[in-house]
Protein backbone atom coordinates (compact mmCIF):
# COMPACT_ATOMS: atom_id res chain seq x y z
CA UNK A 1 0.00 0.00 0.00
CA UNK A 2 1.25 3.45 -0.93
CA UNK A 3 0.21 6.64 0.81
CA UNK A 4 1.02 10.25 0.00
CA UNK A 5 0.80 12.90 2.72
CA UNK A 6 1.14 16.61 1.94
CA UNK A 7 1.49 19.66 4.19
CA UNK A 8 0.90 23.28 3.20
CA UNK A 9 0.59 26.56 5.09
CA UNK A 10 -2.18 27.99 2.92
CA UNK A 11 -2.52 31.43 4.61
CA UNK A 12 -6.33 31.52 4.31
CA UNK A 13 -8.00 28.44 2.89
CA UNK A 14 -11.03 30.42 1.73
CA UNK A 15 -9.01 32.95 -0.26
CA UNK A 16 -6.93 30.23 -1.89
CA UNK A 17 -9.41 27.38 -2.31
CA UNK A 18 -8.82 27.38 -6.09
CA UNK A 19 -5.09 26.84 -5.53
CA UNK A 20 -5.86 23.99 -3.15
CA UNK A 21 -8.05 22.39 -5.81
CA UNK A 22 -5.27 22.81 -8.37
CA UNK A 23 -2.74 21.19 -6.04
CA UNK A 24 -5.01 18.26 -5.16
CA UNK A 25 -5.80 17.66 -8.83
CA UNK A 26 -2.21 17.83 -10.04
CA UNK A 27 -0.37 16.15 -7.16
CA UNK A 28 -3.05 13.83 -5.78
CA UNK A 29 -2.01 13.41 -2.15
CA UNK A 30 -4.13 10.95 -0.15
CA UNK A 31 -4.01 13.29 2.83
CA UNK A 32 -3.56 17.07 2.89
CA UNK A 33 -2.60 18.90 6.09
CA UNK A 34 -3.25 22.63 5.99
CA UNK A 35 -2.10 25.36 8.36
CA UNK A 36 -3.18 28.98 8.79
CA UNK A 37 -6.63 28.19 7.49
CA UNK A 38 -7.86 31.39 9.23
CA UNK A 39 -11.46 30.21 9.42
CA UNK A 40 -13.90 28.91 12.00
CA UNK A 41 -14.95 25.27 11.63
CA UNK A 42 -18.49 26.31 10.66
CA UNK A 43 -17.17 28.42 7.76
CA UNK A 44 -14.63 25.87 6.48
CA UNK A 45 -15.07 25.25 2.70
CA UNK A 46 -15.69 21.50 2.98
CA UNK A 47 -17.69 21.24 -0.26
CA UNK A 48 -14.62 21.77 -2.42
CA UNK A 49 -12.81 18.92 -0.66
CA UNK A 50 -15.78 16.55 -0.75
CA UNK A 51 -16.17 17.17 -4.49
CA UNK A 52 -12.58 16.01 -5.08
CA UNK A 53 -13.02 12.90 -2.96
CA UNK A 54 -11.50 14.22 0.26
CA UNK A 55 -14.46 13.20 2.38
CA UNK A 56 -12.70 12.62 5.68
CA UNK A 57 -11.98 15.72 7.77
CA UNK A 58 -10.24 16.65 10.99
CA UNK A 59 -10.55 20.39 11.47
CA UNK A 60 -9.33 22.62 14.27
CA UNK A 61 -9.94 26.22 13.34
CA UNK A 62 -10.71 29.63 14.75
CA UNK A 63 -11.91 32.91 13.32
CA UNK A 64 -9.29 35.03 11.59
CA UNK A 65 -6.08 33.51 12.92
CA UNK A 66 -4.12 30.24 12.91
CA UNK A 67 -6.16 27.06 12.32
CA UNK A 68 -5.22 23.61 11.00
CA UNK A 69 -7.15 21.04 8.98
CA UNK A 70 -6.43 17.51 7.78
CA UNK A 71 -8.44 16.46 4.70
CA UNK A 72 -8.27 12.89 3.42
CA UNK A 73 -9.37 10.39 0.79
CA UNK A 74 -8.69 7.60 3.30
CA UNK A 75 -10.48 7.17 6.63
CA UNK A 76 -9.32 9.14 9.67
CA UNK A 77 -9.64 7.68 13.16
CA UNK A 78 -9.14 8.94 16.71
CA UNK A 79 -9.20 12.67 15.95
CA UNK A 80 -7.50 14.59 18.75
CA UNK A 81 -6.77 18.28 19.34
CA UNK A 82 -4.11 19.10 21.90
CA UNK A 83 -3.39 22.52 23.36
CA UNK A 84 0.34 23.12 23.55
CA UNK A 85 1.99 26.28 24.85
CA UNK A 86 -0.70 27.32 27.30
CA UNK A 87 -2.92 29.44 25.05
CA UNK A 88 -6.19 27.52 24.94
CA UNK A 89 -7.72 29.85 22.33
CA UNK A 90 -5.07 29.07 19.65
CA UNK A 91 -6.00 26.40 17.07
CA UNK A 92 -2.62 24.95 16.15
CA UNK A 93 -2.80 21.15 16.25
CA UNK A 94 -4.89 18.19 15.17
CA UNK A 95 -3.94 14.51 15.16
CA UNK A 96 -5.48 11.56 13.30
CA UNK A 97 -4.74 7.89 12.72
CA UNK A 98 -4.39 6.73 9.10
CA UNK A 99 -4.70 3.23 7.66
CA UNK A 100 -1.46 1.43 8.43
CA UNK A 101 -1.63 2.64 12.03
CA UNK A 102 0.15 5.90 11.27
CA UNK A 103 -0.48 8.57 13.89
CA UNK A 104 -0.32 11.86 11.96
CA UNK A 105 0.12 15.22 13.73
CA UNK A 106 -0.62 18.46 11.88
CA UNK A 107 1.10 21.45 13.59
CA UNK A 108 1.18 25.20 13.22
CA UNK A 109 3.91 26.28 15.64
CA UNK A 110 3.76 29.96 16.73
CA UNK A 111 5.85 32.27 14.57
CA UNK A 112 7.32 34.00 17.60
CA UNK A 113 7.23 37.70 16.71
CA UNK A 114 10.21 39.79 15.64
CA UNK A 115 12.48 40.01 18.71
CA UNK A 116 14.31 36.79 19.72
CA UNK A 117 14.14 37.53 23.45
CA UNK A 118 11.64 35.91 25.81
CA UNK A 119 11.86 38.81 28.26
CA UNK A 120 11.17 41.52 25.68
CA UNK A 121 8.77 39.54 23.48
CA UNK A 122 5.93 37.46 24.86
CA UNK A 123 5.38 35.82 21.45
CA UNK A 124 8.91 34.43 21.47
CA UNK A 125 8.40 33.07 25.00
CA UNK A 126 5.17 31.45 23.82
CA UNK A 127 6.94 29.83 20.86
CA UNK A 128 9.57 28.27 23.13
CA UNK A 129 6.89 27.15 25.61
CA UNK A 130 4.97 25.55 22.74
CA UNK A 131 8.06 23.61 21.64
CA UNK A 132 8.71 22.44 25.22
CA UNK A 133 5.14 21.17 25.49
CA UNK A 134 5.56 19.33 22.19
CA UNK A 135 8.74 17.75 23.52
CA UNK A 136 7.02 16.64 26.73
CA UNK A 137 4.08 15.21 24.78
CA UNK A 138 6.23 13.08 22.46
CA UNK A 139 8.52 12.04 25.32
CA UNK A 140 5.65 10.29 27.11
CA UNK A 141 5.83 6.50 27.28
CA UNK A 142 3.58 4.26 25.16
CA UNK A 143 3.48 6.52 22.12
CA UNK A 144 2.35 4.79 18.89
CA UNK A 145 5.25 3.11 17.11
CA UNK A 146 4.48 4.85 13.81
CA UNK A 147 4.18 8.63 14.19
CA UNK A 148 4.48 11.44 11.66
CA UNK A 149 4.76 15.14 12.47
CA UNK A 150 4.03 17.57 9.66
CA UNK A 151 3.40 21.26 9.38
CA UNK A 152 4.70 24.76 9.64
CA UNK A 153 7.14 24.43 12.52
CA UNK A 154 8.33 28.02 11.90
CA UNK A 155 11.99 27.04 12.42
CA UNK A 156 14.69 26.52 9.81
CA UNK A 157 17.14 24.39 11.81
CA UNK A 158 20.11 23.80 9.54
CA UNK A 159 22.69 26.11 8.00
CA UNK A 160 21.40 25.36 4.51
CA UNK A 161 17.75 25.70 5.47
CA UNK A 162 18.15 29.47 5.03
CA UNK A 163 19.60 31.67 2.31
CA UNK A 164 22.23 33.11 4.67
CA UNK A 165 23.09 31.34 7.91
CA UNK A 166 25.18 34.25 9.21
CA UNK A 167 22.64 36.93 8.40
CA UNK A 168 19.77 35.01 9.98
CA UNK A 169 21.40 33.84 13.23
CA UNK A 170 19.56 36.51 15.20
CA UNK A 171 16.39 36.42 13.10
CA UNK A 172 13.43 34.59 14.64
CA UNK A 173 13.09 31.16 12.93
CA UNK A 174 16.84 30.49 12.81
CA UNK A 175 18.17 31.44 16.27
CA UNK A 176 20.25 28.87 18.21
CA UNK A 177 17.74 28.73 21.07
CA UNK A 178 14.88 27.83 18.73
CA UNK A 179 17.02 25.25 16.95
CA UNK A 180 17.98 23.73 20.33
CA UNK A 181 14.31 23.45 21.34
CA UNK A 182 13.48 21.84 18.01
CA UNK A 183 16.33 19.36 18.38
CA UNK A 184 15.12 18.40 21.87
CA UNK A 185 11.72 17.66 20.35
CA UNK A 186 13.27 15.67 17.49
CA UNK A 187 15.29 13.54 19.87
CA UNK A 188 12.27 12.36 21.88
CA UNK A 189 11.56 9.73 19.22
CA UNK A 190 14.68 10.14 17.10
CA UNK A 191 12.45 11.54 14.35
CA UNK A 192 13.75 11.37 10.77
CA UNK A 193 13.70 14.65 8.81
CA UNK A 194 12.21 13.42 5.52
CA UNK A 195 13.44 16.27 3.34
CA UNK A 196 17.03 15.91 4.55
CA UNK A 197 16.81 12.11 4.19
CA UNK A 198 16.49 12.64 0.45
CA UNK A 199 18.46 15.90 0.12
CA UNK A 200 21.28 16.17 2.66
CA UNK A 201 23.19 19.35 3.34
CA UNK A 202 24.82 21.37 1.89
CA UNK A 203 22.10 21.57 -0.74
CA UNK A 204 19.72 24.42 0.03
CA UNK A 205 16.05 23.60 0.67
CA UNK A 206 13.34 26.24 1.13
CA UNK A 207 9.58 26.01 1.60
CA UNK A 208 8.85 29.71 2.29
CA UNK A 209 9.69 32.99 0.59
CA UNK A 210 8.63 36.36 2.04
CA UNK A 211 5.96 38.41 0.32
CA UNK A 212 8.23 41.43 0.78
CA UNK A 213 10.77 40.60 -1.90
CA UNK A 214 10.36 42.44 -5.18
CA UNK A 215 11.16 39.21 -7.09
CA UNK A 216 10.97 36.22 -4.73
CA UNK A 217 12.44 33.75 -7.24
CA UNK A 218 15.31 35.91 -8.41
CA UNK A 219 16.28 36.98 -4.88
CA UNK A 220 15.60 33.42 -3.62
CA UNK A 221 15.92 34.44 0.02
CA UNK A 222 13.96 31.46 1.29
CA UNK A 223 13.76 29.44 4.47
CA UNK A 224 12.76 25.83 5.20
CA UNK A 225 10.00 26.34 7.77
CA UNK A 226 7.74 23.41 6.81
CA UNK A 227 8.70 19.91 7.82
CA UNK A 228 7.80 16.23 7.68
CA UNK A 229 9.24 14.03 10.41
CA UNK A 230 8.71 10.31 10.96
CA UNK A 231 9.60 7.75 13.58
CA UNK A 232 12.50 5.44 12.64
CA UNK A 233 10.30 2.41 11.91
CA UNK A 234 8.84 4.36 8.97
CA UNK A 235 12.25 5.19 7.51
CA UNK A 236 12.48 2.03 5.38
CA UNK A 237 9.03 2.84 3.98
CA UNK A 238 10.07 6.27 2.63
CA UNK A 239 9.74 6.44 -1.14
CA UNK A 240 9.80 10.10 -2.18
CA UNK A 241 9.61 13.70 -1.08
CA UNK A 242 8.52 16.61 -3.24
CA UNK A 243 8.53 20.34 -2.50
CA UNK A 244 6.36 22.21 -4.99
CA UNK A 245 8.39 25.40 -5.48
CA UNK A 246 6.25 26.15 -8.53
CA UNK A 247 3.30 26.92 -6.24
CA UNK A 248 5.03 30.07 -4.97
CA UNK A 249 4.62 31.46 -8.51
CA UNK A 250 0.91 30.70 -8.83
CA UNK A 251 -1.53 33.62 -8.95
CA UNK A 252 -2.07 35.20 -5.52
CA UNK A 253 0.04 32.53 -3.79
CA UNK A 254 0.62 31.56 -0.20
CA UNK A 255 4.09 32.52 1.00
CA UNK A 256 4.62 28.81 1.78
CA UNK A 257 4.66 25.95 -0.75
CA UNK A 258 3.43 22.35 -0.32
CA UNK A 259 5.67 19.50 0.78
CA UNK A 260 4.63 15.91 0.01
CA UNK A 261 5.97 12.60 1.31
CA UNK A 262 5.22 9.16 -0.13
CA UNK A 263 5.40 5.92 1.86
CA UNK A 264 5.25 2.34 0.60
CA UNK A 265 3.93 0.39 3.57
Q: Which is nearer to DNA, 97 or 207 (CB)?
A: 207
Per-residue x/- track, 43-72, DNA (CB under 7 A): --------------------xxxx------
Closest CA to 36 of 98, 108, 88: 108
**Spatial separation of the C-alpha atoms in residues 124 and 129, rounded to whole Å:** 9
- Determine the interface stretch with DNA among 75-83, 99-107, 189-197, 206-214 (rule: CB under 7 A): 206-214
- Determine the interface stretch with DNA among 26-34, 44-52, 183-191, 207-215 (rule: CB under 7 A): 207-215
Q: Which is nearer to DNA, 210 or 217 (CB)?
A: 210
Neighbours of 89 (CB within 10 A): 8
Please state the closest distance from residue 100 (CB atom) to DNA, in A. Answer: 32
Q: If binding is defined by CB under 7 A, does position 180 make contact with DNA? A: no
Footprint on residues 82-141 left by DNA (CB under 7 A): 110-111, 113, 123
Q: Return the bridge partners of 103, or none.
A: 97, 147
Kindly tell me which residue out of 47, 142, 166, 212 binds DNA, with binding defined by CB under 7 A. Answer: 212
Please state the closest distance from residue 35 (CB atom) to DNA, in A. Answer: 9
**CB crowding 226-255: b at 16 or more within 10 Å, else e:** bbbbbbeebeebbeebbbbbebbeeeebbb
Please state the closest distance from residue 255 (CB atom) to DNA, in A. Answer: 7
Q: Which is nearer to DNA, 140 or 212 (CB)?
A: 212
Q: Collapsing DSSP states into helix, strand and coil, what is residue 125?
A: helix
Q: How many residues bind DNA (CB under 7 A)?
A: 19
Q: Which is nearer to DNA, 154 or 231 (CB)?
A: 154
Q: Which is nearer to DNA, 12 or 244 (CB)?
A: 12
Q: Which is nearer to DNA, 130 or 263 (CB)?
A: 130
Per-residue x/- track, 147-166, DNA (CB under 7 A): -------x------------
Q: Which is nearer to DNA, 7 or 97 (CB)?
A: 7
Contact residues for DNA (CB under 7 A)? 11-12, 14-15, 36, 38, 63-66, 110-111, 113, 123, 154, 210-212, 252
Amino acid sequence: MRIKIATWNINSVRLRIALVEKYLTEYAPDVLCLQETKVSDAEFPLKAFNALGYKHHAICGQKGYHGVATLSRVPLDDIERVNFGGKTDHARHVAVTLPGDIRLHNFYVPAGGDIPDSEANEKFAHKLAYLKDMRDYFAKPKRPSREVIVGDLNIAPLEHDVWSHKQLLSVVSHTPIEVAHMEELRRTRDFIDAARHFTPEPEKIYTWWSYRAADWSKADKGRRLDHIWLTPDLKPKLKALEITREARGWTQPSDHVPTLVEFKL
